[in-house]
């Protein structure tokens, strides 16, 4: 049974240098046709497996950039979502947003359409770094948009920040944190830059033209991040996420809990009825397939019992609460230690995880090398 719904909007007015998600420039794209196809895909999928959609807790609009759409297109999209997705149990309805695109009419359209959480891509408060990574907004856009969002009625607002950017200094990172926290928002996400294939940064990196901070400096930036957030009363509930009480992202928690969710749109991924799937990515192909009455599936994979165990561990350990004995035994019918005792003992000895009567979780030391810890739970590692 799905707990959440992800809806992919692949359109952008500007392509960021680090982004590897399925996206295209907005201009000359069949945006209205795409929105219609999204509605059709939702309708078909819910009709095929209605029992999977009886307890949807969250909906998340991602991209691309959902706020690349016009206010009228946003209204149309939200109308289709609320028409085809059972909304009675939805508590959190989020949309990603760019600060320089989120006009008052778009904010009003989102709010009136049921969206109650905004996740804004701010990344940095240093204009030179914003230009390096391909962002087009200014600090003034951020301040104005957040105030406008509050005026419209939004209370649950999050911003994304990035560190380990090309040429970024510790001083720039600390200033970004200070400016971000001065906004007194209830939620912050902060991610280190990962140079992904098929991005502008990857091309630059391959040519030796991308000058990144050292590994030690990036580690120090993460340490400063954790300490600064804690000093401001924000709880780190996941490796990269910090929130006031009651404002942790329910949608993202679905992923880390290894629970099921539906994915709609070109290139979207989902996990329904034990099957992980991905949709076709080309927009024209997606529209043609859906409007012909077929789900636009590119790939399906039935998750094996071993894979479910692995995913429970490496996804769950991203959470500060870690993986509890109770949730593990409830899902798999056997104690966690009956399967992973040797690995857990080794990681404890290395002071990378801690074990108690509740479960296991990363130590502070473990958070710095989380991916290495996660790999230890993979078969064959």
Statement: residue 380 has pLDDT above 60 = no
d(CA 126, CA 180) in angstroms, rounded, equals: 11
* Confidence band of 381 (pLDDT split at 50, 70, 90): very low
Give the burial class of 50: count Cβ atoms within 10 A of its Cβ; 0-12 exposed, 13-18 middle, 19 or more buried. exposed
At 36-89, the pLDDT tens digits run: 999 999 999 999 999 999 999 999 999 889 999 999 999 999 999 999 999 999
At 115-126, the pLDDT tens digits run: 999 999 999 999
For residues 12 and 8, which has the higher predicted lDDT (pLDDT)? 8
**Backbone dihedral angles phi then psi of residue 278, each to the nearest 5 degrees:** -135, 150
Q: Which DSSP string do the residues of 104-122 spell out, in sequence order?
A: HHHHHHHHHTT--EEEEEE
> Which position has the token pair 């009825």?
273
Average of per-residue pLDDT across 99-106:
95
* Confidence band of 136 (pLDDT split at 50, 70, 90): confident
Domains of the chain and CATH, by start: 2-255 (3.80.30.20), 322-375 (no CATH)
d(CA 61, CA 39) in angstroms, rounded, equals: 14
pLDDT of residue 15: 66
Report CA 85 to chain centroid distance, whole Å.
20
**Treating both helix axes as pointing N-terminal to C-terminal, what angle do 31-48 and 71-84 enclose, rounded to 10 degrees?**
10
d(CA 147, CA 153) in angstroms, rounded, equals: 10
Average pLDDT, the chain: 94
Q: What is the pTM of this model?
A: 0.94
Find out whether 309 and 339 touch, Cβ atoms under 8 Å: yes
Statement: residue 22 has pLDDT above 80 = no
d(CA 33, CA 288) in angstroms, rounded, equals: 10
d(CA 146, CA 380) in angstroms, rounded, equals: 48
> Which position has the token pair 């948009």?
145
pLDDT-wise least confident of 153-162, 204-213, 259-268, 269-278: 204-213
At 153-200, the pLDDT tens digits run: 999 999 999 999 999 999 999 999 999 999 999 999 999 998 888 788
For residues 357 and 196, which has the higher predicted lDDT (pLDDT)? 357
Q: Is 97 helix (H, G, I), strand (E, B) or coil?
A: strand
Q: Is 59 helix (H, G, I), strand (E, B) or coil?
A: strand
d(CA 107, CA 208) in angstroms, rounded, equals: 41
Question: Count of residues for the chain?
Answer: 381
At 198-217, the pLDDT tens digits run: 788 878 868 888 888 999 99
**Backbone dihedral angles phi then psi of residue 73, each to the nearest 5 degrees:** -70, -35
d(CA 242, CA 231) in angstroms, rounded, equals: 12
């Amino acid at each position: 049974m799905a707990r959440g719904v992800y809806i992919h909007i692949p359109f952008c007015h500007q392509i960021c240098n680090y982004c590897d998600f399925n996206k295209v420039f907005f201009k000359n794209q069949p945006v209205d046709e795409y929105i219609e196809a999204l509605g059709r895909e939702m309708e078909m999928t819910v009709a095929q497996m209605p029992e999977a959609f009886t307890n949807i807790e969250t909906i998340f609009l991602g991209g691309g950039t959902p706020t690349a759409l016009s206010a009228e297109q946003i209204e149309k999209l939200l109308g289709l979502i609320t028409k085809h997705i059972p909304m009675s149990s939805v508590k959190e309805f989020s949309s990603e947003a760019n600060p320089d695109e989120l006009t008052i009419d778009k904010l009003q359209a989102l709010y009136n359409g049921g969206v109650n959480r905004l996740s804004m891509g701010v990344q940095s408060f240093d204009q030179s770094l914003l230009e390096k990574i391909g962002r087009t907004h200014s600090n003034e856009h951020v301040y104005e948009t957040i105030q406008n969002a509050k005026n419209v009625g939004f209370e649950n607002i999050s911003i994304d920040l990035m560190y380990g950017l090309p040429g970024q200094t510790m001083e720039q990172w600390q200033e970004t944190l200070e400016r971000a926290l001065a906004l007194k928002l209830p939620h912050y996400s902060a991610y280190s830059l990962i140079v992904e294939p098929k991005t502008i940064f990857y091309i630059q990196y391959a040519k030796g033209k991308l000058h990144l901070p050292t590994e030690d400096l990036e580690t120090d930036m993460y340490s400063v991040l954790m300490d600064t957030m804690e000093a401001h009363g924000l709880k780190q509930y996941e490796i990269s996420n910090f929130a006031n009480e009651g404002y942790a992202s329910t949608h993202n928690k679905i992923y880390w809990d290894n629970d099921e969710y539906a994915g709609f749109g070109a290139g979207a991924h989902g996990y329904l009825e034990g099957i992980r799937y991905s949709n076709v990515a080309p927009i024209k192909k997606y529209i043609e397939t859906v409007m012909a009455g077929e789900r636009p599936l590119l790939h399906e994979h039935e998750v094996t019992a071993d894979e479910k165990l692995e995913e429970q561990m490496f996804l769950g350990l991203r959470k500060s609460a870690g993986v509890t004995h109770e949730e593990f035994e409830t899902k798999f019918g056997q104690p966690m230690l009956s399967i992973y005792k040797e690995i857990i003992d080794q990681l404890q000895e290395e002071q990378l995880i801690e074990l108690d009567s509740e479960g296991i979780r990363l130590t502070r030391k473990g958070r710095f090398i989380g991916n290495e810890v996660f790999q230890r739970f993979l078969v064959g590692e």
